[in-house]
């Protein structure tokens, strides 16, 4: 019974019938509406609370949780050099939002476990880590740490160990300074409960009910050697990912820059789904079932 | 910063022991009394620590037996970047081959086929008017007999009208739907877009995946829209994967096929360059 009530309320929240930020009917009202006992109603509210759909504010009542406007990160090359600072800021600004990164915190540390594995270094080799907090519109959206083998610094990439932004991004810098070109990367995407640092920074509830994406990106140079490893955590309540393979239409999820609009002019822009592919191929146009619509 | 409360310190210590392998998966946790002595803590503090670990799925209490470190599920890594012309169709040989290649055993249920009106999301992805007729084909997928993912593909009804009649038969399309649509209608899958998000499981997910009912294990939801040569959507596939047993991989550009064994053989060039 409590699950049915919870499911009904959930649908009302998702359809917008119960507005985000709005107050839930009181316990008494819910008991009357569903003809249910106090305990049943409480169980239903608890079920919704656990799932982060409603929250109880002491002395005020129970409210539908405000949804954080999600940010969509593109994992393929459409947004440039893979998680690199500049590309990221550009993409966020293009969506009309403001990105702010903290000054990087730079550490030299021995590579252990997964970091050594991914960079193909002996356990305990020295690595440089550059750590940044990333905010969008003042809200914390991700935490990012990039590890570089110390040999890159020894070979002359001295800016890697400076606690300042690398203008143009580290990928471009490595190419300019050392002629090391990142030609590809591999991402591993996992989901787990946040640790204490993440919960504090992202202001997540302490019960672990909001998971975080943890992505591991390893970048490779032309010889197939790993040149960097970026570990990024993103709370799942405000982040989504998109991945394009092969030919896909220009998209509503990859924000477009004014300046890049000229490049994409020739591509169909179909964000509304209503442009109906004015140049339907003949085979489709002949089909009576698809005359009015793309299909 | 305030120091963490004692129960959190205890929980964190136990968590590290579990993650380092000091406490093995499936092992019994020390008893409450032992924990109280080891950490010099009150009963309530120890209980709070145990509760914190339970909520995170790291340990589980079996009534009458004690508390145990949760068994770890060997995760399956799904690649999101494969050749669009052949790859990742919904019920085909590619999936079976991908799982078998890793010496694990894939099983697919027969598809459940429904004719329905496109929801707002599906309609928008397929660029149909909301409420247009679509065919949905759902499948339950298992690895080593464990429920692993739930997948539903939506196809515009126009494909059936044009002759792809197998789409509305409740049997597996042996060659895979990507190959079938290419052969039957000359529709080549030229690309796809994945949208990846995470949400709490709904009732159907919880039951099928045998997940804890408290919503603490999240599910990945991957929405794949596939496009033909004319960049028109052919299908939308919605797949649900519990986060406790699934990971994803994306390769972009030129990436070595097999990452060498960690440490082994790589010390060479690393050292040579460093000195």
The DSSP-derived string for A243-265 is EEEES----SSS---TTTHHHHT
Contact B216 A7 (CB under 8 A): no
Angstrom CA distances, A140 to A43, A98, A143, A219, stand at: 32, 12, 8, 25
Instruction: For B213, name the nearest residue in chain A, comparing CA atoms only.
Output: A47
Give the rounded distance of the alpha carbon of B92 from its chain centre: 18
Structure-token pair, residue B125: 């992805």
**B8 three-state secondary structure:** helix
Contact B270 A77 (CB under 8 A): no
CATH class of B6-69: mainly alpha
Judge whether residue B232 has pLDDT over 50. Answer: yes
> pLDDT digits over B35-49, tens only?
999 999 999 999 999
Q: B136 CA to chain A: closest CA distance, Å? A: 16
Residue ranges in A16-98 assigned as alpha helix (H): 27-34, 38-50, 85-94
What pLDDT does residue B25 have?
Answer: 84
Contact B193 A149 (CB under 8 A): no
Task: Tally the residues of chain A.
Answer: 295
CB A28 within 8 A of CB A22: no
Parts of chain A with a pLDDT under 70: 77-87, 250-295
What pLDDT does residue B65 have?
Answer: 84
Chain B residues whose beta carbon lies within 8 Å of the beta carbon of residue A193: 56-57, 216
Interface of B with A in 151-170 (CB under 8 A): 156-159, 161-162
What pLDDT does residue B258 have?
Answer: 58
> pLDDT digits over A198-246, tens only?
888 998 877 777 899 999 999 999 999 999 999 999 999 889 888 888 8
- The whole-model pTM stands at 0.71
Print burial letters for A214-240: b (CB count within 10 Å at least 16), e (below 16): bbbbbbbbeeebbbbbbbbbbbbbbbb
Question: Which range among A11-15, B6-10, B54-58 shows the weakest confidence by mean pLDDT?
Answer: B54-58
Give the rounded distance of the alpha carbon of B212 from its chain centre: 16
Residue with tokens 């293009």: A94
∠ CA B163-B165-B170, nearest 5°, is 165
Q: Where in chain B is CATH 1.10.10.10?
A: 6-69
How do A61-64 and A99-101 pair as beta strands?
unpaired
Percent of chain B clearing pLDDT 90 (strictly above): 39
User: Rounded distance, CA B96 to CA B105, Å?
Assistant: 8
| B126, B225, B270: residue with CB nearest A151 | B270
Binned at pLDDT 50, 70 and 90, residue B124 comes out as: very high
Instruction: For B234, name the nearest residue in chain A, comparing CA atoms only.
Output: A295
| A77, A183, A242: residue with CB nearest B194 | A242
User: Rounded distance, CA B247 to CA B73, Å?
Assistant: 12
Domain range summary for chain A, segments of one domain joined by +: 2-64, 71-242
User: Rounded distance, CA B230 to CA B89, Å?
Assistant: 19
What pLDDT does residue B92 have?
Answer: 65
Note the CATH number of domain A71-242.
3.40.1410.10
Instruction: For A187, name the nearest residue in chain B, comparing CA atoms only.
Output: B250
Q: Which residues have CB under 8 Å from A119's CB, separation 6+?
A: A111, A125, A127, A147, A149, A218, A226, A228, A229
State chain B's mean pLDDT as an integer. Answer: 83
DSSP class of residue B28 equals B
What pLDDT does residue A157 have?
Answer: 93
Contact A246 B189 (CB under 8 A): yes
CA dihedral for B198, B200, B205, B208, sign (positive or negative): positive
On whether the B76-249 domain is CATH 3.40.47.10, my answer is no
> Which helix (H) or strand (E) element contains residue A227?
strand A226-235
Q: Which of A228, A84, A225 is nearest to A148 (CA)?
A: A228
User: Rounded distance, CA A228 to CA A115, Å?
Assistant: 10
User: Rounded distance, CA A114 to CA A40, Å?
Assistant: 47
Note the CATH number of domain A2-64.
1.10.10.10
> pLDDT digits over B133-146, tens only?
999 999 999 998 88
Instruction: For B257, name the nearest residue in chain A, comparing CA atoms only.
Output: A224
Q: Where in chain B is CATH 3.40.1410.10?
A: 76-249
Task: Please give the average per-residue pLDDT across B101-125, as a whole number.
Answer: 89
């Amino acid at each position: 019974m409590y699950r049915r009530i919870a499911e009904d309320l959930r649908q009302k929240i998702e359809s917008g019938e119960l507005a985000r930020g709005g107050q839930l009917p009181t316990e008494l009202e819910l008991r009357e509406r569903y003809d249910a006992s106090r305990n049943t109603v409480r169980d239903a509210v608890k079920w919704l609370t656990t799932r982060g759909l409603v929250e109880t504010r002491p002395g005020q009542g129970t409210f539908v949780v405000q949804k954080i406007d999600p940010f969509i990160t593109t994992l393929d090359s459409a947004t440039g050099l893979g998680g690199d600072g500049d590309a990221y800021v550009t993409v966020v600004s293009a969506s009309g939002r403001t990105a702010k990164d903290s000054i990087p915190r730079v550490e030299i540390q021995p590579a252990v476990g997964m970091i050594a594995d991914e960079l193909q270094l002996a356990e305990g080799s020295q690595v440089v880590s550059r750590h940044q907090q990333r905010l969008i519109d003042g809200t914390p959206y991700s935490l990012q740490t990039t590890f570089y083998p110390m040999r890159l610094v020894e070979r002359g990439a001295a800016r890697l160990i400076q606690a300042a932004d690398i203008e143009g991004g580290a990928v471009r810098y490595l190419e300019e300074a050392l002629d090391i070109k990142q030609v590809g990367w591999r991402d591993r995407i996992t989901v787990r409960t946040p640790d204490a640092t993440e919960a504090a920074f992202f202001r997540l509830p302490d019960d672990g009910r909001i998971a975080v994406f943890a992505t591991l990106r390893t970048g490779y140079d032309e010889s197939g050697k790993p040149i960097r490893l970026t570990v990024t955590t993103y709370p799942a309540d405000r982040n989504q990912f998109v991945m394009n393979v092969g030919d896909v239409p220009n998209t509503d999820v990859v924000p477009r820059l004014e300046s890049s609009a000229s490049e994409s002019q020739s591509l169909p822009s179909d964000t509304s789904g209503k442009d109906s592919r004015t140049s339907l191929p003949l085979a489709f146009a002949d089909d009576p079932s698809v005359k009015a619509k793309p299909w | 910063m305030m120091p963490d409360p004692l129960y959190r310190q205890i929980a964190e210590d136990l968590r590290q022991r579990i993650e380092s392998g000091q406490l093995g998966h499936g092992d019994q946790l020390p008893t409450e009394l032992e924990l109280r002595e080891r950490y010099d803590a009150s009963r309530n503090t120890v209980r709070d620590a145990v509760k914190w670990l339970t909520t995170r799925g790291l340990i589980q209490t079996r009534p009458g037996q004690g508390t145990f470190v949760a068994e770890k599920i060997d995760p399956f890594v799904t690649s999101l970047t494969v050749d669009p012309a052949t790859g990742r169709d919904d019920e085909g040989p590619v999936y079976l081959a991908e799982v078998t290649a890793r010496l694990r055993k894939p099983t697919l249920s027969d598809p459940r086929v429904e004719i329905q009106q496109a929801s707002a999301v599906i309609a928008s992805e397929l660029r149909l008017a909301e409420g247009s007729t679509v065919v949905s084909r759902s499948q339950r997928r298992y690895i080593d007999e464990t429920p692993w993912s739930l997948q539903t593909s939506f196809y515009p009804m126009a494909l059936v009208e044009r002759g792809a009649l197998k789409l509305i038969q409740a049997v597996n399309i042996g060659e895979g739907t990507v190959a079938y649509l290419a052969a039957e209608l000359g529709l080549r899958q030229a690309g796809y877009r994945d949208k990846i998000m995470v949400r709490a499981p709904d009732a159907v997910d919880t039951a099928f995946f045998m997940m804890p009912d408290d919503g603490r294990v999240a599910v990945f939801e991957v929405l794949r829209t596939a496009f033909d040569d004319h960049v028109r959507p052919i299908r939308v596939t919605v797949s649900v994967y519990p986060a406790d047993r699934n990971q994803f991989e994306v390769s972009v550009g030129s990436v070595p096929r097999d990452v060498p064994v960690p440490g082994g053989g790589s010390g060479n060039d690393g050292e040579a360059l460093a000195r």
